[in-house]
Structures are given as structure tokens and as C-alpha cells.
């Protein structure tokens, strides 16, 4: 299996690491050897049809900041969609930065890959948030797989749980906490009586929040995950513009105290109901299983016959996300054993 890595940051490098370390185990257990033949970052790319030397790529990235400096096979060309359409690789792993305005370059990368008959694994939520029904239709039309386990819950398999463990059951509603950064901020605001700004600064220092925290604190990241769950699990054709989204920037100490008096905490909750979906800070009773602290994620599926089922687990993180990508690669290989 030949792989193009579009994006070589935290997640892309973690994946390279895992593929490198676990190569022998993967061949033994699943009968295929994932070979990275192209890597693209924002400044350039490197390609080798016989498979790149992963440790060399990682070292080059570390030393020079771009794979363009990869010996002999590096170039200053970072036009990922163009590179994808001219490559013979079977799979594209898309890990470029998320943006919810036009979802580029991820959206073009995924469209080009599918249109050219390649399977896609993405951790980038932007393209799914804006165009998931369209991308699923394209994948289906081209008879290729579009996988995205790493977009929701990182290592905690919320998506696979719902899709694979509950066949025959009807899921009526979904609600939960899907963003570790905001959950951490709200937890610290409550336990240490910090203002929103102070809690955010702390989260940034600890590496939980990005320098530009907009996507997290404005609720967009949670919304994107809700879009993905709604399309994949509940077969609703939603995209970001169908949702009501409120972030946590207006959550005050007063609101937290108010919640406390009724034995509840304020949490950023994403929910999918029968005919709507929304994201907003809500009071959640402390006894509710989704009332989890710190960077944890939690999701309750309300089913027709089996009642409420809640999954709790760690959310994003480079290595966890890389493990979700490997899961996706394995299932692509299994469905297309050839």
C-alpha cells in the first residue's frame, strides 16, 4: 500500500513514527506494508516511488523545518492537490491544518484523491464539516473509502462504536462533550475560580489550546464533530451551516455558581436531535455520566431499545490520532484485500 502524507506536523510525524516502528508487526498481522511514497508540508515535498526513508524524512523535517530538503528527492513544490493527481499511490492521508472557512487545502486534496481513485484517511475536520455529504457521495461513486476515525475522539472510537457495535439498533439522539480544550478551560474556571481568559492562558501554556484558540472556544471544533457523527451515524445530511453554534467565551463565574447551586456544571454540549443539531454551553447535572472533567470527552447515544449508552475517553493527541489513522489504513486494506 503506497501512501501520500499531505501534512507533516504533529499528526503526520506521529503517524510516520508509528508506521516506521510497527512496520513488521503490521505486515505480520494484516499482510500489508504501508509505504510512504510522498510527503507534503507547507514549504515543499519529497517523493520516492520505492518508498521514502521515514527516519530520514523525520530527521530532515526536524533539522530544516521542511521535507523539501530531503536529500535528492525533496522539492520546493507544495501544491498537494497537483502532487496527488500525478501520483500512483493508493491512499492519501490528509493531515493539513483545519480551517472552517473554505476547508482548503484539505478539501481539494480529498476531492482530487477520490476523483483519481485513491482511498482517503483524514484527520482534518474542515472538509467534512463543510462538505461531508458531497465527499461521501464522491467516495461512493468512485467506490473508494473515505475514513476519518481520527477526527472524533482521537483514540476513543466513538464513530466505530456507533457504526459497528450497534447494528440493528436505532440511535435517536446523541449528546456529549467532544472538545478537550474547552472542557479543560471550563473545569479550571470552576475548580480554581479562574476567569475565562486566565483559564485559556493556562490551557495554552500546557499545550492543550492552540495559539489561535478560535476553533475550540467558539464551538466550531465541536460542531464539526457533530456534523461528522450526524452524517455517519445518523445518516443526516448536515454541514456546518445547518447548526446553531455558541461557544464558551461568554461563560462567566456567575453562570458556573448558578449551576453549582443546582448540583450541575456548565459544559460545552454538542447534541443531535430528531431534526436539529446544536452546540452550546449547558448545565449538566454532576450525576450525569457525561459530566466528565479536564480534557476528557464523553458521548451518550440514546437508543430505541438499549437505552442510554455512554462512552468516555481521552480526546485528541498526536499519537492517539496516529493510531486512529492506522486503524483506518487496516480497514481499507481489509475491505480491499487484493
Which residues carry out catalysis? 225
Cβ 39 to another protein shortest distance, Å = 26
Query: Among residues 134, 152, 150, which one has the least CA distance to residue 142?
Result: 134
Cβ 338 to ligand NAP shortest distance, Å = 29
Q: Is 42 in the site for ligand NAP (CB under 6 A)?
A: yes
* Rounded Cα distance, 30 and 24, in Å: 10
Q: Is 316 in the site for another protein (CB under 8 A)?
A: no
- Alpha helices of the chain — where are they, by DSSP H? 10-30, 54-64, 80-85, 106-115, 125-142, 158-165, 180-191, 196-205, 214-217, 220-232, 253-261, 318-335
Indicate the residue among 60 and 123 with the shorter CB distance to ligand NAP: 123
Q: Is 260 in the site for another protein (CB under 8 A)?
A: no
The site map against ligand NAP for 107-136 (x = CB under 6 A) is ----------------xxx-----------
Question: Looking at the DSSP assignment, which residues form a beta bridge with residue 285?
Answer: 264
Residue 317 interacts, among ligand NAP, another protein, none and using kind-specific CB cut-offs from 5 to 8 Å, with ligand NAP
The stretch among 149-157, 182-190, 198-206, 268-276 that binds ligand NAP (CB under 6 A) is 149-157
Cβ 171 to another protein shortest distance, Å = 22
Indicate the residue among 138 and 200 with the shorter CB distance to another protein: 138
Residue 97 interacts, among another protein, ligand NAP, none and using kind-specific CB cut-offs from 5 to 8 Å, with ligand NAP
* Rounded Cα distance, 278 and 272, in Å: 7
Q: What dihedral angle (degrees, nearest 10) is formed by the CA atoms of 286, 291, 296, 297?
A: 180
Indicate the residue among 65 and 117 with the shorter CB distance to another protein: 117
Indicate the residue among 36 and 240 with the shorter CB distance to another protein: 240
Task: Please give the DSSP secondary-structure letter assigned to residue 132.
Answer: H
The pairing of beta strand 264-272 with beta strand 171-177: antiparallel
Rounded to 5 degrees, what angle do the CA atoms 254, 283, 184 make?
80
Q: Between the CA of residue 79 and those of 17, 169, 187, 323, what are the distances in Å?
A: 24, 44, 41, 27
Cis ω for the linkage preceding 39 (within 30 of 0): no
Q: Is 105 in the site for ligand NAP (CB under 6 A)?
A: yes
Question: For 27, phi and psi rounded to 5 degrees?
Answer: -60, -45
Residue 137 interacts, among ligand NAP, another protein, none and using kind-specific CB cut-offs from 5 to 8 Å, with another protein
The stretch among 54-62, 138-146, 163-171, 322-330 that binds another protein (CB under 8 A) is 138-146
Q: Is 136 in the site for another protein (CB under 8 A)?
A: yes
Binding site for another protein (CB under 8 A): 115, 130-131, 133-134, 136-138, 141-142, 237
Q: Which residues bind ligand NAP (CB under 6 A)?
A: 6-12, 40-43, 66, 78, 80, 95-98, 105, 123-125, 150-151, 154, 316-318, 321
Amino acid at each position: 500500500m503506497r501512501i501520500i502524507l499531505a501534512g507533516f506536523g504533529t499528526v503526520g510525524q506521529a503517524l510516520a513514527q508509528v508506521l516506521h516502528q510497527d512496520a513488521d508487526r503490521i505486515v505480520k498481522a494484516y499482510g500489508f506494508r504501508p509505504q510512504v511514497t510522498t510527503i507534503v508540508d507547507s514549504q515543499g515535498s519529497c517523493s520516492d516511488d520505492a518508498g521514502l526513508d521515514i527516519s530520514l524524512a523525520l530527521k530532515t523535517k526536524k533539522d530544516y523545518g521542511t521535507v523539501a530538503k530531503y536529500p535528492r528527492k525533496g522539492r520546493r513544490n507544495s501544491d498537494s492537490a497537483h502532487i496527488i493527481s500525478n501520483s500512483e499511490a493508493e491512499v492519501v492521508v490528509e493531515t493539513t491544518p483545519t480551517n472552517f472557512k473554505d476547508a482548503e487545502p484539505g478539501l481539494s486534496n480529498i476531492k482530487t484523491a477520490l476523483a483519481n481513485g485513491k482511498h482517503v484517511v483524514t484527520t482534518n475536520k474542515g472538509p467534512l464539516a463543510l462538505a461531508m455529504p458531497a465527499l461521501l457521495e464522491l467516495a461512493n461513486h468512485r467506490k473508494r473509502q473515505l475514513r476519518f476515525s481520527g477526527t472524533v475522539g482521537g483514540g476513543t472510537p466513538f464513530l466505530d462504536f456507533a457504526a459497528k457495535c450497534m447494528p440493528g439498533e436505532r440511535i435517536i439522539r446523541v449528546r456529549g462533550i467532544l472538545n478537550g480544550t474547552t472542557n479543560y478551560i471550563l473545569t479550571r474556571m470552576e475548580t480554581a475560580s479562574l476567569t475565562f481568559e486566565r483559564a485559556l492562558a493556562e490551557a495554552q501554556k500546557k499545550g492543550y489550546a492552540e495559539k489561535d484558540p478560535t476553533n475550540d472556544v467558539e464551538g466550531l471544533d465541536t460542531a464539526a464533530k457533530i456534523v461528522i457523527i450526524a452524517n455517519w451515524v445518523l445518516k443526516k445530511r448536515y454541514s456546518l451551516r445547518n447548526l446553531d453554534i455558541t461557544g464558551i467565551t461568554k461563560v462567566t463565574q456567575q453562570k458556573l455558581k448558578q449551576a453549582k447551586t443546582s448540583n450541575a456544571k456548565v459544559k460545552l454540549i454538542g447534541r443531535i436531535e430528531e431534526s436539529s443539531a446544536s452546540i452550546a454551553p449547558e448545565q449538566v447535572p454532576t450525576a450525569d455520566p457525561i459530566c466528565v472533567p479536564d480534557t476528557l470527552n464523553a458521548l451518550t447515544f440514546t437508543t430505541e431499545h438499549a437505552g442510554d449508552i455512554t462512552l468516555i475517553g481521552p480526546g485528541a493527541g498526536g499519537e492517539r490520532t496516529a493510531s486512529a489513522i492506522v486503524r483506518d489504513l487496516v480497514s481499507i486494506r481489509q475491505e480491499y484485500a487484493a
